[in-house]
Structures are given as structure tokens and as C-alpha cells.
């Protein structure tokens, strides 16, 4: 009884020269030091500062963005009830202004947060200049490293 040989390329064990191929099966093992506890990552931005940044960004970026979307809803409601005729360019323009304010609020919220232990002022004007200088110095350092 003859055994059927699989065709080349379909699980056959012979190469073009008729020699049997020896395939080395590599097993993947976890690293030896996997039992070691992971060390906590050290962040460049302290936790208390990042929480301050998030609060400022939510307020200064979130509010204008919600207003920008609200302009579309308000415009639709006013026009669908027949109360007013609003040109589409006005709706897009006003919502665009709010979206730009949201973008500026995002940047200002990040740069006006106090890096000190104290909370800083409500608007953060005194910290904006310092943090902008830090950002510029960081970007110069990154450019020099390349």
C-alpha cells in the first residue's frame, strides 16, 4: 500500500532537491525576570498638576465646544419652527468661532496650570508665561537631540 505524498507547498516535507527538510521549531518563552514586580513609571508631569490641567481644559475647551454644537441645534430649532430664517453661513461662522475658542481654551488650559504645590490663581495668567517658556525650552532640547 503506497502512501500519498502531499504536493509541494502544501505540507510536503521534501524540497526541490529531494532532501528532507529539518525545521527548527522555536518556542516562545516568557522573559526570565517576569516574576519581578513592575516598577511604577515616572511621569514628567506630577499628578496634582495633570489634574489641574484636566480641570482647566474641561472648562476652557469643553464649554466653547458644547456651545459650538449648540449653535447647530438652536439654529435648527429656530428654523424648523418657522421663527427665524438663519443663513447657513451664519450658523457655520458662529459655531466656527466657538470651536476656535475651544481650541485656544485647550492650549491655554494646559499652559496656565500651576506646577507649584499650591493651586495658583483662578485664571492662571502668572503661570502661562512661565509654562510657555518651559515648553519652548523643551522643544529646543528635543530639536538639539536629533
Give 38-92 pLDDT, tens digit per residue: 555 566 778 888 888 899 999 999 999 999 999 999 999 999 998 788 899 999 9
Q: What is the pLDDT of residue 48?
A: 84
Q: What is the pLDDT of residue 115?
A: 82
Q: What is the pLDDT of residue 94?
A: 96
The residue-averaged pLDDT of 99-103 equals 96
* Residue that the C-alpha cell 476656535 belongs to: 100
Sign of CA dihedral 43, 46, 47, 51: negative
CA distance 76 to 74: 5
CA distance 109 to 54: 8
114: its cell numbers:
500651576
CA distance 113 to 131: 8
Ramachandran sector of residue 36 (left: φ over 0; alpha: ψ -120 to 50; beta: rest): beta
| Cα 52 → chain centroid | 18
Rounded to the nearest integer, the mean pLDDT of the chain is 79
**Which one is predicted more confidently, 96 or 44?**
96
The residue-averaged pLDDT of 106-131 equals 85
CA distance 112 to 105: 10
The residue-averaged pLDDT of 107-136 equals 85
Assign 113 a pLDDT band (cuts: 50, 70, 90).
confident
Q: Answer yes or no: is pLDDT of 20 > 70.
A: no
Amino acid at each position: 500500500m503506497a502512501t500519498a505524498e502531499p504536493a509541494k507547498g502544501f505540507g510536503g516535507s521534501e524540497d526541490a532537491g529531494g532532501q528532507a527538510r529539518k525545521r527548527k521549531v522555536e518556542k516562545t518563552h516568557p522573559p526570565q525576570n517576569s516574576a519581578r514586580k513592575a516598577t511604577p513609571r515616572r511621569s514628567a508631569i506630577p499628578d496634582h498638576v495633570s489634574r489641574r490641567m484636566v480641570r482647566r481644559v474641561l472648562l476652557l475647551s469643553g464649554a466653547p465646544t458644547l456651545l459650538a454644537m449648540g449653535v447647530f441645534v438652536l439654529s435648527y430649532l429656530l428654523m424648523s419652527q418657522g421663527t427665524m430664517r438663519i443663513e447657513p453661513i451664519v450658523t457655520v461662522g458662529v459655531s466656527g468661532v466657538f470651536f476656535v475658542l475651544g481650541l485656544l481654551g485647550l492650549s491655554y488650559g494646559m499652559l496656565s496650570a500651576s506646577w507649584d504645590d499650591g493651586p495658583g490663581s483662578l485664571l492662571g495668567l502668572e503661570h502661562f508665561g512661565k509654562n510657555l517658556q518651559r515648553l519652548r525650552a523643551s522643544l529646543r532640547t528635543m530639536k538639539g537631540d536629533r
